[in-house]
Every structure is written in C-alpha cells, then in structure tokens.
A and B are shown apart, each in its own frame.
Chain A
Amino acid sequence: MMSLVELQGIKKFFDNVRAVDGIELEIENGEFLVILGPSGCGKTTLMRMIAGLEKPTAGQIFIGGEEVTTLPPRKRGVSMVFQSYALYPHMNVFNNIAFPLKAQSREKKYDKRAIRDKVENTARLLEIDMLLDRRPRQLSGGQRQRVAIARAMVTQPAVLLLDEPLSNLDAKLRANARDELKEFQRSSNITAVFVTHDQIEAMGLGDRIVVMSHGKIQQIGTPQRIYDDPANEFVATFLGSPSMNILRNDVFSFGFRPENFLPKTLADNPENSRIFHYYVKRVEYLGSDRLLYGYVQGHDNELTLAKVPSNVRVSLEVDSDYEFAVHNSDIKFFDKTSGQRITEQNLQEIL
C-alpha cells in the first residue's frame, strides 16, 4: 500500500539556486504533516510543487498512487490556503467558497443546487454561514482565514496544503486558530500539509514534522522525537526557545537545552549528571522563568543560557559562580565539522 503522497528525488533549481535539493517524503492518509524551516529553506517551493504550481527540475510526485508530476493543479485533487488567504476581493463569501466548485463543475457535474448545498454545509462546519453575503474586506483576519479554509475544503480534496495560514493573525488569535485548525483536521480526517517557520506552531500542530534547511530534509519525526532527539546541530538549535546551548571542545561539540541546565541543588539525580561551574553575567526575569546568561568554565567565549523556573526558591545573583548540572541523557553530542549527531557509543570510539 502506497502512501497518499509520495515525493521521490524532488529537486527544483531556479537558475543556479538549489531551492529544493533532493527530497524523499511520504505523507500518510489522514496525517497532519508540518514542514518546518527558516525562510528560504525551500519549504514553500516544495509545497507549490505538490500543488502543481511549480514543475520540479527532477523527481516524481505521486498522489493517491498516481503520478502527477506534470499534471496541472486541477487534476491533482489538492487544495491550498495561502498565507495571504488570497480571497477574491470582488466576490462575496458565498462566491469565494463556490468558486472551486464552479471551476470544476464540468468534470464533477455539480449543478447550482449541489453547489449551494456544498457551500452552505462547509460554511456551517466552519461557523461562517452567517457571513456568506459579506465581502472579504468586511471580515476580520480570523474570519478570512476560515473562508479560505472553507474554500479549500469544499471540493473535499485528497490533500489540504496550508502555507503559513496563521502568520497573518495577531498573537492572541493565533493560539485559538491553531487549536481550531487541529480540531477541524482531526474531525474531518483530511490529510494536511502545513508549511511554517514557527516552531511552536509546528510542535503544536504536527503529527510529524519535516525539518528543512537549504533545500534538504534535516529530520522527519514526531514533535517530541525532533525536540528530544535531534538528528544534527541544525535541528537541535532550530527548535526550542531559547535555543540549545552548543559548546565545543577539541574533538566534538555537545549541547544541552537551557531548561535542562539547572542549579545542582535542583537536579533530580546528581550522580548521573554532569556538573558545570557556571558564571552568571545577567538575569532576565520573564514571569514564569528566570533566564540566565553566563559562561561555563572552560568555554569563556560561548554564551550559555539557563532557564530556571521562577517558582523554585534558589537565589541566583549576577556576577556570581554557581554549580549547575545537566542530566547525562540531556546532553547531545555532535560531529564538530558535519554537525551530525554522534551517539554515545560512537563517542567512546572517537575518544
């Protein structure tokens, strides 16, 4: 049994720029897959190739077991929500949602009645049925987003592609919209591919996350797997806020997350921990946490952060030395040149 979407050796070059450089990816039916990466990593280009808006320079795309590499978007059974929502400004909400049905009415044989029913059902599902007469510019950001999703869902596509659809919402609305989107995807059981540069969105939404950089996949896995078990230094530092501390010695690099770097007195089990002498240069009080900036002994040029919960009553003063601990399992080792993760067995061999 083939996956719903399969990408084989997908490449896309723009002149000399390798926007997407050899992607192998399988997307399962009903899954919420997030493609995460910094801007310019090729994630949007990858999505546009799945949609059919770009032709790959090399490689093959299969959707539902059928090769679609050179087919136009309308033959692929995909729909897409753009970052800007791309609502048709001169049409009311009803006509926006009805547009893909009308455009495909010849192939799918929708009559007027069927179109009306479908639009109204989808609008009800997204709770925008009272807005059908409005123009896009009369809607709030959140409402526009729902209209865009309704328009994408109304044709019951095999795959729903979402290009940073939450980034135009203000921060308060975004958490809410994220929750609703996930709930909607779960209840409709649609396969969703979601592109974002926001790791919190990615962690919150994704059944699996694909981390991309420089046109290549860095790691694929569940949010927890990617966070706890990063495949390389890029993934380790890209996820998490503040990002993982990376320290270098002569032979390898190692890293640990600021929230795992705690005063020794707080460590669960100091015997299995590594102890560092930590000089605190500055303290930021962030409400629930204290963020410490300082240096670990022997790494005087590598700024190291610690994130200590505010509710633990440990006094931490500026310009003072403390003993901090990291549990051994929370320390990750990386190859000094390639940045690839080194397991502890391999590390023993190196040493």
Chain B
Amino acid sequence: MASASPVINPRRYLMDDRRFVGLIFLAPALLYILLLVGLPFLLAIAFGFSDVTVGNTELNFIGFDNFVAVWENDIFRQVFGNTVMFTLVSQVFILIFANILAIIFTQEFTGKWFARFIFILPWATPVSLAAIGWLWMLDTKYSPIDYLLLQTGFLGPNGLLSNSRNLFWLANPALSQISVIFVQVWRMTPLATVILMAGLSSIPTDILDQAEVDGSRFMRTLLQIKLPLILPIMVIALLFSMITMFGDMTVVYVLTRGGPVDYTRIIGLYSFQIGIEGGNLAQGAAMALFAFPLLLALALLMLRTASRAEVR
C-alpha cells in the first residue's frame, strides 16, 4: 500500500513552503534586530541592575541602587529636563516649518525640483558633518553670523544687541540651548516635510476639487480639509522625529559636550559620558534606561496611529 504513492523528496518542494521561505526572507532583519538591538538592550538592563564598571567587569546584582542614585543626582534631573524640553520645543518648530514647507512644495512653481533638492540636504548630510558645520557657524570668535551682525550694526561698540563683537553662541546658557534646538530643527524638518508631503499628495484630488466647487478658498481648504486629513500622518512624522531626537547625542556632543555647565546636556550624551567615558557602565546603563519607558510609550502610540491611518 505504501509503495503505491510515489516517494517525494521533501527538499524538492522546500522553496514552495511559505513558512520556510518566509523565514529565509525574515532572517537578515531578525538577526540584525536580535544582535544589534535586542542583545545590547538586554545587556543594558543587566548592567543597570549591577555594579559593573570598565575596571571590574564582574556582574553583581544590586537591585535598584543605580536607578535611585541616578534619580537623586541633581545633574541628571537637569539633564532629563533638558532632554524633554529640547525634544518638545523643537517638535513645535519642526511641525510648523514642515507644514508650511510641505504646502509650498506641493504647489506648482518653477524651480520646484531645485528647491526641493536644496531643502532635503540637511537631512541627507551625515549628522556629525552637519554638526561640525554648525560648530563653525556658531564659533565663539569667528562665527559668520556674528560677523554679519557686526557689519549690520547689531554687534560691536554701540551695537543693538550687545557691545561685544561676539554673541558667544555656544558659551551663553540661553543661546547654547537655542543653538542646539535650532540645529535639531534645521536637521529634522526635511524628514517631517517629506512625510507631510506624502500625506498631502495622498489626499484624493476629487476631495480637493469638490472643496473648490463648494466654494472653499485656500485657507479654508487648508485648515478644514487638508490638515485634518493628514493629521494621522502628522502624528507619525512627529513621533518619528521625537524618537530620533530623544535618542540623539551627536549634535550636542559635537557642538557643546553638554556645556556651558549642564545647559545642553541630554540623556544620551550624559549616559555616554558617565558610562563610556567615565567607565561607570552600570550607572550609564541605568541612565539610558530612564528614557526607555518614554520611548516605548511613544513607539506604541506611533504604531497605533500608523495602523489607524491605514484603515482610513
């Protein structure tokens, strides 16, 4: 009886098996996530609950001691506040600029292609190079911005802003914070704009034609039709840049190293300075983990919004 059915070599049809082929396609991404995201994350948790340092790599479980110590550290509290403040303030500006630019770039005008190209550059430039560029622009002595202000009478003796020849962008507490926020906005606006442009161009032309026939003018169509329709996409753009910014340390590392004093120090940078540069791996990991619940909440919100946007 058994000999009646032909013998099939199971390997011959392996590539027809959806589960097997699916696994093959997923494998690179899975490996990447497991090795470069999952493993370090678990390691960070293990470090956070231990007393490991660069000098003594033995892992001794010490409970929440690191977290308590970090939270009782006044500098960390300021750093945490800086991080939240920088992220929120820059998002407001990013949203405003991205909306305006997305609307401009979805209109028809000559030179649109070139304008779009120029405009995308900040995002296409590697963060470190861009930050170094701004380091020069904001230089204490040779800042071109200061030079222009000097030439136009805003700086220098009897200047409108200051009698000094320089504003000391990265040395003055308020200006250094403004500078960091400015560079982040400059860097992140293009991505948000591109996302919003995709949203705007996905609005069916019928809807916009209908609004026109209904007698709606530019502002009404913008405020009552376009913006509400791209709201889910706007939330996604917002969450994207929030998460990117929250975890970024490159800009401040290059521009200020956290100074003056701690005015521009943020979690990512401080955790790096304590954990890697200072050698206290355990405390550095604990600091980084403080950001985790916030980022997790943001990521979940983002995924939920994204899936709801699809349904519409």
Contacts and interface: CB of A to CB of B under 8 A. Distances in A.
A84 to B, nearest CB: 5
A303 interface: no
Interface residues of A, number: 25
A161 B300 CA distance: 46
A83 B205 CA distance: 12
Contacts of A90: 228-229, 231
Interface of B: 204, 206-207, 209-217, 220, 224-225, 228-229, 231, 312
Contacts of A82: 206, 209-210
Interface in A228-263: none
Given A89-B229, A90-B228, A103-B220, A53 B212 contact: yes
A88 B225 CA distance: 7
Contacts of B212: 52-53, 72-74
Given A73-B215, A99-B216, A86 B312 contact: no
A326 to B, nearest CB: 46
9 contacts: A48-B209, A73-B212, A80-B210, A84-B206, A88-B210, A88-B211, A100-B215, A103-B215, A151-B214
A196 interface: no
A3 interface: no
B207 A86 contact: yes
Given A48-B209, A90-B229, A100-B215, 16 more contacts: A51-B213, A52-B213, A73-B212, A73-B213, A74-B213, A79-B214, A80-B213, A83-B206, A86-B204, A86-B209, A88-B207, A90-B231, A99-B224, A103-B215, A104-B214, A155-B215
A342 interface: no
Nearest to B215: A74
A48 B212 CA distance: 12
Interface in A134-173: 137, 151, 155
A308 interface: no
B213 A78 contact: yes
Interface of A: 48, 51-53, 72-74, 78-80, 82-84, 86, 88-90, 99-100, 102-104, 137, 151, 155
Given A89-B312, A90-B228, A90-B229, A100 B206 contact: no
B293 to A, nearest CB: 32
Nearest to B203: A89
Nearest to B229: A90
A104 B225 contact: no
Most buried by A among B212, B228, B229, B312: B212
Nearest to B206: A86
Most buried by A among B211, B215, B229: B215
Nearest 7 A/B pairs, CB to CB: A74-B215, A100-B214, A86-B210, A86-B206, A103-B215, A103-B216, A104-B215
Contacts of A83: 206
